[in-house]
Structure 1
Amino acid sequence: MDTVQPGATPLSEEDAHRQLRRAVIASTIGTTIEWYDFFLYSTVTGLVFAKLYFPESDPLVGTLQAFLIYAVGFIARPVGAAIFGHYGDRIGRKATLIVTLLLMGLATFAVAFVPTYATIGIWGAVLLTILRFIQGVGVGGEWGGSVLMSMEWARTNAHRGFVASWPQFGVPAGLFIANLAVLAMSQLSGSAFLTWGWRVPFFLSIVLVAIGLYIRLNILETPIFARLLAERKIEKAPTLEVIRRQPKDILLSALSRMAEQAPFYIFTAFVFTYGVRTLGASRDLLLTAVLAASLLEFVTIPLFGHVSDLIGRKRMYMIGAAMAGLFGFVYFAMVDTKNPTWIFAAIVLSLVPHSMMYGPQAALIAETFTGRLRYSGASLGYQLASVIAGGPAPLIATALFAYYHSGYAIAAYVFVCAVISLVAASRLGDYTNRDISREYDEARTMGDHGHAHAR
């Protein structure tokens, strides 16, 4: 792959390697901050928001209302994907990533100052909803850019799965820091945590944003986008163009995430409601278990990203989807014992099938789209899953449990999600170890790529 910036001399091998390292670090730290912000909201939703912003409601209804605000962030993610996908393919990966970081960080910081129901009534919940929507728009634009920033600096085709898995590392890292912050604050005595302690982690997010901004300002644009710019192959409306050319790939990318996303939010967000109210487990046990699970993913996400380079992206992903479908039943069998050791083990192990999919997923989805439409296509495919999987998952889990009074009903839902993902992933293309630096409709004959047209 040529490593040239527009109007610049080619980078030396050493400089290109340094840029790759910088891009991977910038993407990973950036996504860690973004997901810290997003998960902080998730964790606090189950523990605090129902009590502070819906105190008049029945506890179950209050929880459903709080999770509805939580779901708004997921609905906003495809909106962010469409907006920032457009700019990511028009003005570049770097500039777009700086904007998404600021948007997400400032919205999270503002949550720290939202007055409760006792102070301004229902307007507190309205403000939370608006800030959650802004958060979702930021995250919607973040993922695609972070993955491309790493993947498009990869020096060879043979390690793309591993390189692209590092922005995915931001998920367990963000989850870890968010839960650690809440766990630290929940040690406060009496009602201090409910009164003001929960606000502190939101307030501290501004420090992380400053660090992320400094790092992102010091990276170069990716070689693939630089070439597109130099060769004047920028699309006027990349989001519309990718919907026109690759609608099936966008839909399959979204459906392939059902087995990864829905169980993840059930096992890491809904578990706080289910664990405390139904199982009588302590909040600290659940927070510590999610912390341990996140630590495990520090290793397993890059590991399975690497394995996907060896055995193929799709194969690795489908093994993970099958495991996730079966593990739902094991998970509820373990937590329903109400034994703290089994509950802890179930939460930790629940993220292994997740890693099997999440490690190779970035490359699997991003490689599906041609370079000039990649930010838009990958972002839309990835974030649409938030509307059909991640957002509704805690709501569906809460409703299923309310109706059936059994965790196995939720496990059956996870199983259905896994079957959908297996079918969708089997229909996706596999670009493991293939060249993605040239436009797909230039690199092969017209009929070879169903949606490719000669330009």
Structure 2
Amino acid sequence: MGGKAISTTQVVKVAVGTSLGTTIEWYDFFLYGYAASLIFPKLFFPPFYSPLTALLISLSTYAVGFVARPVGAMIFGHLGDKLGRRTGLLWDLILMGIGTGIIGLLPGYRVLGFGSLAIATVSRILQGIGVGGEWGGATTWLTEYAAKSKWRAFWGSWVQQGVPIGLLWASGILGLFASFPENSPLNLFNLGWRIAFWIGAVAAIVGIIIRLALLESPLFESLIYKGEISKIPSIEVWRKYWSRILLLAASWAAQNAGFYLYSVYSVDFLIGLHFSRNLALLSVTISSLIGIFIIIIFGLLADRIGRRIGMMAAFGLGLVFSFPYVLLLLKENFLLILLAQLLMTIAVLGSYAIIPAFFAENFPTKYRYSGTGLSYHMAAPFAGGLAPLIVAALVGERYLTNWWLFALVFAIYFTISLSALAVLKETKGKEME
């Protein structure tokens, strides 16, 4: 630790700073997902396009952000392992704010034709690069501060709070604007969705100010003192740890795919069944709220029973529940839908709580920002970005007859992650150096 004693107060400050930053980034990221499924097919396409065609193309622009995430992990991992964790985290938040602000200003198809969709796609790439740099840096920064704590998984789980809170924020804001009358300027399909994006851009500025007030990681400062900074960390980590990176990526693919299936695609699925849009969003909002506490519980659990066992327990539940989950959605009963969302939240966010400590403990300080970021985001194009698109294409508009394909995709991803975890080693109690 470079001779410095780290107090709990210091860890809490960094935990709050990282969780606030990740909340802002994930709000922006999720907001685009909802807009891509609910707003953009009607706004950025000519009226003669079929709703399904417009939805699939729109979701493709959503998926582009996931392809950009490994690029962001490489870029900001390099910056973070050479110049410091805080530097990387400041610049990725700046990039995210720019991308989000641009989207909120775009005109519709009648004004700019497909130009608006093209600009939205570029902005989505900026968002993806920004998120690609966020998670690895936030995870590294916080776990290095908590390196000597016996509750390292618990502290690391604070980073993950950005996901349910960001989702809660995004779905709640959109639900609020959807509740306004159709002729109101604040209605979701009028100015409402734009205001939601502008809120995200302003919040990014607030996040930058907060992070400027925080201190650099003590383990990274120790690395500087020893003169052990890598010249090309993002390249060297691939050469030395490529197999571990790929296994770690596969180990959380189920969480990445599962999260976007139950939080984003399920809303489209329910609307396709003629279920209320507002109630569909409300089910996601409530499950996200409860997900905050699920993350806390599983973070503490991982410090007791271990990282691998905790994640395998959560994914095992998800595998068993894959088909019952979709069957409950088909009932079109709000309480049963809420039950389905809550149980899937346990499987998905329970495992998610454990990932920061598990990934950070797999790499030395010299490569930690790069290694954790790449391990996390390598799965994104094939899981979170691809899964909703695969399911939307397979199910199409035949929700009642093709429901089982929705469930099957869930089950396949859970099986992939369980297989990878069976190969990886436990890291609980490992010294971070």
The alpha-carbon deviation at position 188 of structure 1 amounts to 2.0
**Contact 1:368–1:430 under 8 Å retained in 2:** no
Give the one of 237, 241, 251 matched to 1:256.
251
Q: For 1:42 and 1:133, how far apart are their aligned partners in 2? A: 13
Partner of residue 414 from structure 2, selected from 392, 414, 418: 418
Question: Which of 271, 289, 311 does residue 295 from structure 1 map onto?
Answer: 289
Match of residue 394, structure 2, among 400, 419, 427: 400
| 1:210 equivalenced with 2:205 (yes/no) | yes
2:410 aligned with 1:436: no
Q: Which moved more, 1:374-383 or 1:398-407?
A: 398-407
Secondary structure, aligned partner of 2:119? helix
Show the counterpart of 1:341: 335
CA distance in 1: counterparts of 2:155 and 2:91, whole angstroms:
23
Aligned match of 2:221: 226
- 1:50 paired residue among 33, 37, 41: 41
Q: What whole-Å deviation, never above 9, does each CA across 1:141-177 have from its counterpart, x for those lacking one?
A: 0000101111000152421110101000110010011
Secondary structure at the counterpart of residue 386 of structure 1: coil
**CA–CA separation in structure 2 for the residues paired with 1:154 and 1:190:** 50
Gaps spanning 5+ residues in structure 1: where?
5-9, 438-455
CA contact (8 A) 2:150 2:303 kept: yes
Counterpart Cα distance in 1 of 2:202 and 2:115: 28
User: Following the alignment from structure 1 to structure 2, what is the Cα–Cα distance between the partners of residues 57 and 18?
Assistant: 56
Deviations 1:199-240 (A, max 9, x none): 111011233122211210111111110111110111111111
CA RMSD of aligned residues (A): 1.4
Q: How does 1:260-339 map to 2 (within 5 A)?
A: 260-277=255-272, 279-339=273-333
Q: Say yes or no: does 1:92 pair with 2:84.
A: yes
Say if 2:381 is the partner of 1:387: yes
Secondary structure at the aligned position of 1:199 is classed as helix
Please tell me whether the aligned partners of residues 169 and 298 of structure 1 are also in contact (alpha carbons under 8 angstroms): yes
Figure out how many residues of one structure are paired with residues of the other and give that number: 427
1:74 corresponds in structure 2 to 66
Matched letter for residue 223 of structure 2: L
Q: 2:14 aligns with which of 9, 23, 31?
A: 23
**In the alignment, residue 435 of structure 1 is paired with which amino acid?**
E
**1:41 pairs with 2:32:** yes
With normalisation by structure 2, the TM-score equals 0.96
Distance 1:428 1:12 in 2: 32
Aligned to 1:446: none
Tell whether the 8 Å contact from 2:287 to 2:338 is kept in structure 1 after alignment. Answer: no
Once the two structures are superposed, what CA deviation does each residue of 1:46-74 show, in whole Å capped at 9, x if it has no partner? 11111111233211111101100000100
1:246 alignment partner AA? Y
* Contact 1:285–1:344 (8 Å) recurs in 2: no
Amino acid at match of 1:247: W
- CA deviation map 1:63-110 (0-9, x unaligned): 101100000100000000010011111111011101011111121111
2:23 paired residue among 13, 29, 32: 32
Q: Which residue of 2 aligns with 1:120?
A: 112
Q: For the residues of structure 2 that align with 1:324 and 1:343, how far apart are their CA atoms?
A: 16
C-alpha contact 1:53 1:124 (8 A) present in aligned 2: yes
Which of structure 1's runs of 4+ aligned residues deviate more than 3 A?
A: 10-13
| CA deviation profile, 1:350-404 (whole Å, cap 9, x unmatched) | 2110122101111111211111011111111100110110000110111121297
Secondary structure of the structure 1 residue equivalent to 2:35: helix
Note the alpha carbon deviations across 1:330-367, whole angstroms, 9 max, x for none.
Answer: 11110111222212221232211012210111111121
AA partner of residue 229 (structure 1): I
Distance 2:311 2:147 in 1: 23
Alignment equivalent of 1:83, drawn from 75, 92, 109: 75
Question: 3-state DSSP class of the match of 2:377?
Answer: helix
The alignment's TM-score, normalised by the length of structure 1, stands at 0.91
Work out whether residues 183 and 284 of structure 1, in 8 Å CA contact, stay in contact via their aligned partners in 2.
Answer: yes
